[in-house]
Chains A and B, each alone.
Chain A
Amino acid sequence: MIIKTRNLTKKVPSEEGELIILNDINLELEKEKSLAVVGPSGSGKSTLLGLLAGLDSPSSGEIFLNDQPLHELSEDQRAKVRKENVAFVFQSFELLPGLTAIENVMLPSELNLDKDAEARASEYLTRVGLGNRLKHYPRQLSGGEQQRVAIARAFACNAKVLFADEPTGNLDNKTGAKISELLFEVNEESSNALVVVTHDANLASKCDNQIELSEGLIA
C-alpha cells in the first residue's frame, strides 16, 4: 500500500461550533495505481488531498504514506516525507512568478540536492513539449503551458505519489484533455501512484479506482 487511511477526520473551529469537513475516511491505494476523487464543490476533496500529501494534519485518525505515519509526524518531518514521496499539481498552477520555466522545474531537484538539476529540468520540459520555452516566465505562458510546466515540475520530483487537484479545472476542454493525457503518461513512465481530484468524468474513468465524496463522507 502506498496510501492508507483509517478513520481520517478533519474538523475546523467555526462560528457555529466545530465544522466537520472530513468524517471517518478509510481508503487504500496500491503502488503505481491511480485514484480519482470526485464529488460536488465543497465536499472536502481538496482537504483530503492536502491531508494525504502531508500538507495538513488531521484532527483524528491515521494516514500512512509509503508506510510513514503522517499523523504522528511534525511539520518538518512531514516536509522530509514530502520531499521524498510527493509531487503536486494545482488547479491554479502555482508556479513561482519570478522564476523561468526551467528554474521552476529545477526546484525539486535543488531541494533534493541533485547535481544535474538543469539537465533534468530541460529534459522534462522537452518531454511535456516546452523544449523551446525554457527561459520564459510564467506570465509569458498560456494557462495550458503553465500547467505543463507544473507537470514537468512534478516529473522532476521523482515522487512515489503524484497528487493533482483539479488539474484541468482552469483550462478549456481540449487543453484539459491533453493535460490529463500527460498526467497518465507521467504516472506510467515514472511508475508512481496518482491521486487526482476532478470533475471530468472522462479523466475519472481512466483511473483504476474512484471514490466519491459528499459532505465529508465517502458516498
Chain B
Amino acid sequence: MLLGLSLKLFWRELKSGQLSIMFFALVLAVATVSSISLFTDRLEKALLAETQEFLGGDLKFESNDLIEDEPYEEIQKLNLKSTEMVLFASMLASGDNLQLASVKAVDQNYPLVGGVELRSESKNIYVKRPPDLGQVWLDLRLMDILKLEVGQTVSIGDADFIVSHSILSEPDRASNSFAFAPKAIINAQDLEKTNVVQPGSRVRFSTVYLGEKAELLLAKNILEKTKQPGDDIREAQDANDSLGKAIERSGNFFLLGGLLAVLMAAFTVGMSSQRFARRHIEYVAILKSLGTESWEIRLLYSLIFIELGVFAIFFGLILGWFMQEGFTGILKQYFPTDLPTPGFQPLLISSLTVFICLIGFVYPNLVKLVKISPLSILRREESKTSSSSYLMFALALSAMFLLVFLYTERLLLSSIVFFTILFIFVLGYGIILSFFRSTTRLGLGANNPLSLAWSELHRRKYTNSLQVLAFTMAIGLSLIAFSARTDLMSTWESTLPPDSPNNFLINISKSDLNSISSFLEENEIEESTFYPITNTVIIKLPKEGEEVSKPIDRNFNATWSSELPLGNTIVSGEWFKGNSSDGLSISNDIAARYGLDIGDPVKVFFADQEIDTYIQNTREVNWDNFSPNFFVIGPPEIFKNSQATYITSLHVPKEKDKVISEFMSEFKTVSVLSIDAIIDQVNDIIEQVSKALEVILGLTIFSAMFLTLATIQDGFNLRLHQSAILRTFGASTSLLQKSTALEFALLGLLAGFLGALLAQTGIFFLETEIFDLEAAFHANIWVMGPIIGTILICALSVILILSITRKNPKEIIYNS
C-alpha cells in the first residue's frame, strides 16, 4: 500500500519538476563518480600491465651467479611461468666497425608478457618468441653505427649471427646493469658458441616470473633467503619512473575532480531536500490528521527517496559508462595493451555515494518533516527547528567525511578536504552573524532598494548564512577545479621544460671526459655535470644492543659530489660540509624502504674496498626532471680512490639527432640512452589528461550550477509570497527586483571571497601534500571568485525574480 503510494507521489513530484534539481544533481554525481572510478580503475590496471611489461613480468631476480639448485627447484614447484636471461657486455664487430653493446640471451619462454616490435626490410612485426638460432636482433642505433643492414652478418665473440630484424621496442627494459647500452638479442642456445661467458667475466643472470600474487610472494621469500650482496629483486608494483609518476599524478587529478562533483551533489541534495520538506509540511499534517502514524509517514518518505536514489543511480551509471568510454578513447593510444575491463567496485562506490548523500543530507530533513504536528494545517508557519538541527549537522558532516574517504581511500586527502571546508564554514558563519548582528532600525526599509536589501540581509541572516556557505562551496570547488586544470597543470607541464635532458651518456671513462667536452662544444650542445659512478653494496650495521645486520637487497650506483645535485632537496640532516670524508646521503625513498635513519652506521662495499661510515642526510629526489638521479651520494673524499665511470645528461634538439650517431662512432665505449620516446609519452599524457580534465571541469561547473540554483530556490517561495504582499500595497516590481539583486549580489560577493579562500587553502594542501608541487599564491582565484560570485549569483537570482513579475500578486497570494 505504502509502496504504491510512494511510487505515485514520487512520480508526481518528478513529473512536476519538484525533484528535478535533486535528481539531476544525483545523476551527475553518479555519472562523474562512476566514470572517473571506472576509468581510474582501468588506468591503474593498465599501469600495472605497463610496468609488468617494463619489468618483463611480475618479479625479477638478477644476480651475478645462477640461482643455486635447491631454491631453483623449490621455485620450479610453484605454479609460475618464468623465463631466464643472460646479460653481458660484448664488442660487436662487422667488418672494420666495432661497438660495445649489451647482449641479452633469451630462452624459449621469452617474452613472458607483451611482445617485441621488430622491423625487417620495411615491415613492422610484433612477435612473442625469441630470435631463431643463428640470428640476432639489433637495436636500430647499433645497426647504424655498425653500418649494418638486415640480412648481413655480425660477430659476437667467436660466433657469427645473421641480423634478421632490428628492434623497435622490447619489453623487459628495466634491467639494472646494461640497459643503457644499445642492445642485441640472441637465442640462449647460441650463447655457448660465442665463448663470451667465461668464469670471471661480468655477466648478469636474470629470471623473470609471472603468476598469482600468493605464488609470487612464496617465490620472493625463497629468493630473499638465497640472495647475496649484489643480487637484485624487483617487483612490478614498485615502478618509480617518470611515466608511472605521470600516470599516478593524473589519477590524482581525476580523483580530485570526482570528489568535487560528489561534494557539490551532496550539498545540492541537502539544499533541495530542505525545500522539499518545507513544501510537504501541509501534506504530512493532513496525513497525520487523517490518522497516519509517524512510522508510516517516515516509511513513505524514505521510500520516495530510495526510489529517487535508485532512479538516479540507474541513469547516472548509464551516463557514466558513456563518459568513461570517452575518457578511455582519449588515453587509449598511450597504452600498448588493450585497457582491461573494469571491475565491479566503481558501481558499488557510486551507489554507496548516492545513499550516503541521501542519509546524510536528506534524512535529517525528513526527520524534521515527520515531526510536524497535525496542527500546522491550521497555522501555516513552520514549526521551529529544535535539537534536530544539531543532528542534521552532525549527520551531514559525518556523511561528508565518509563520502570523501570512501572516494579517495586516503585519510590525508579526506582530512584536508574536510577540515578546509569546515574551517571556511565556521568562518563564513561567523562573518555573517557578526556583520548582520543587530537589526539596525525599525521597519523593512521598503522605501528604496538599498535599504530594503540591507534590512533583508539582517532579517535573513540565518538562512542567508546557509546560502552563502552553499554558494561558497559552489564557487570554491569550481575554482579548485579550474585551478587544477590551469595552474596545477601548467606547473606540472613546466616541470618538464622543453630543454630537459633527453639523452644520457653512460659508461664514460675519465680519459674521455675532455674530448667529450670539446666534442659537445664543437656541436653546440650544452654540457651538464659529469657524475662519477661506482657500483656499491650497502650493509646496515647493527647499532648497540641490536644483533643482526641485514644487507640491503640492492646494489646502488653511487656518485660523489661536494654539491647537492640540482632538483634534490635535503629532507633531514645536513649536506656534507667542506672536505668532509665521512657520511652518506641517501634518498628518502631508500631510507624509508630499508629503515635507515640519520646517524645509522653502514658498511659500504665498492670496487675492492670496504668502508664503515654512517647516514649523514636524506634527500628528496626529483623524478620528474630526467636528470641522472642517485639513491646514494657520498663526499668525494670517500670514493677518491675508486675506479669510476661517468654519467651525464644532455639536451639534444631534434634537428641535431645526427650528432648522436657521430658521437657514438667517435666514442665507441660510451653508451648513449635516448629517452625522447619516454619524454614524448609523458608530454602526451599531460596533454591528454588536461583534455579529460576539461571535461571534468565542465562537470564540476555543471554541479556548481545545480547547487547554486537549489540554493537560490531554497526559501524562494517565501520571498515570492512576501513580494506579492508588498506589491499589493503598491511596491513596484523594479523595487523588489533591485533589492533582491542587490541582496544576492552582496551574498555572492561574500561567497566569492570565501570561495577564493576555500580554493586557495585547498589548493595549497593539494600542491604540497598531493601533487608534490611548489605552493603558490593564485591571484587569479582571488579576482575570479568575487567577480564570478557577484555576477553569477546576481544573474541567477534575477532570472528567478523575473518569474515573480510574470505572475500577478493575486495568483501568488491566493494559490499558495
Contact = CB atoms under 8 A, between A and B. Distances in A.
B736 to A, nearest CB: 10
Contacts of A103: 442-444
A88 interface: yes
Interface string B776-816: 00000000000000000000000000000100111101100
Contacts, number: 92
Nearest to A47: B810
Interface stretch (A26-34, A72-80, A195-203): A72-80
Contact of A107 (B444, B732, B734): B444
A108 B729 contact: yes
A208 to B, nearest CB: 25
B447 A110 contact: yes
A99 interface: yes
Interface stretch (B41-49, B183-191, B720-728): B720-728
A88 B444 contact: no
Contacts of B447: 110-111, 113
A80 B729 CA distance: 9
Given A103-B442, A117-B443, A157 B729 contact: yes
Interface in A69-126: 75-76, 79-84, 86-88, 90, 92, 94, 96-99, 102-103, 106-108, 110-113, 117-118
Contact of A96 (B442, B445, B722): B722
A139 interface: yes
Interface in B718-768: 722, 725-734
B444 A110 contact: yes
Contact of A57 (B460, B722, B808, B814): B808
A215 interface: no
Contacts of A88: 728-729
B729 A111 contact: yes
A206 B379 CA distance: 31
B349 interface: no
Interface string A40-74: 00000011001001011100000000000000000
Contacts of A55: 727-728, 808-810
A118 B808 contact: no
A90 B813 contact: yes
A84 B443 contact: no
A116 B391 CA distance: 46
Given A56-B810, A113-B447, A139-B379, A94 B729 contact: no
A99 B808 CA distance: 23
B638 interface: no
Nearest to A95: B725
A106 B730 contact: no
Contacts of B443: 103, 106-107, 110, 117-118
B68 interface: no
B725 A94 contact: yes
B765 to A, nearest CB: 40
A113 B730 CA distance: 12
A47 B815 CA distance: 12
A83 B730 contact: yes
Contacts of B732: 76, 79-80
A119 to B, nearest CB: 11
Contact of A76 (B380, B442, B734): B734
Nearest to A85: B730
B657 interface: no
A56 B444 contact: no
A97 B805 CA distance: 22
Contacts of B813: 90, 94
Nearest to B452: A110
Contacts of B722: 96
Contacts of B805: 75
B169 to A, nearest CB: 71
B381 interface: yes
Nearest to B735: A111
B459 interface: yes
B446 interface: yes
A118 B444 contact: no
Contacts of B444: 96, 99, 103, 106-107, 110
Contacts of B380: 92
Given A55-B809, A96-B722, A110 B730 contact: no
Given A56-B808, A102-B442, A118-B443, A46 B814 contact: yes
Nearest to A96: B722
Contacts of A47: 810
Nearest to B730: A83
B312 to A, nearest CB: 31
A111 B726 contact: yes
Contacts of A86: 728-730
A103 to B, nearest CB: 5
A159 B150 CA distance: 106
A96 B813 CA distance: 12
Contacts of B733: 75-76, 79
A55 to B, nearest CB: 4
A106 B729 contact: no
Contacts of A138: 381
A164 to B, nearest CB: 12
Contacts of B809: 55-56
Interface in B430-473: 442-447, 459-460
> Which residue, B722, B733, B814, has most C-beta atoms of chain A within 10 A?
B814
B7 to A, nearest CB: 24
Nearest to A49: B810
Interface string A114-155: 000110000000000000000000110000000000000100
Contacts of B734: 76
Contact of B729 (A83, A97, A98, A113): A83
Contact of B446 (A94, A97, A102, A107): A107
Nearest to A114: B447
Nearest to B808: A56
Nearest to A108: B729
B730 A118 contact: no
B722, B732, B805, most chain A CB atoms within 10 A? B732
19 contacts: A46-B810, A53-B728, A55-B810, A56-B810, A76-B734, A79-B727, A79-B732, A82-B730, A86-B730, A88-B728, A88-B729, A90-B813, A97-B381, A107-B729, A111-B446, A111-B726, A112-B730, A113-B447, A157-B729
Closest 6 pairs (CB-CB, A-B): A83-B730, A50-B810, A55-B810, A110-B446, A82-B730, A56-B810
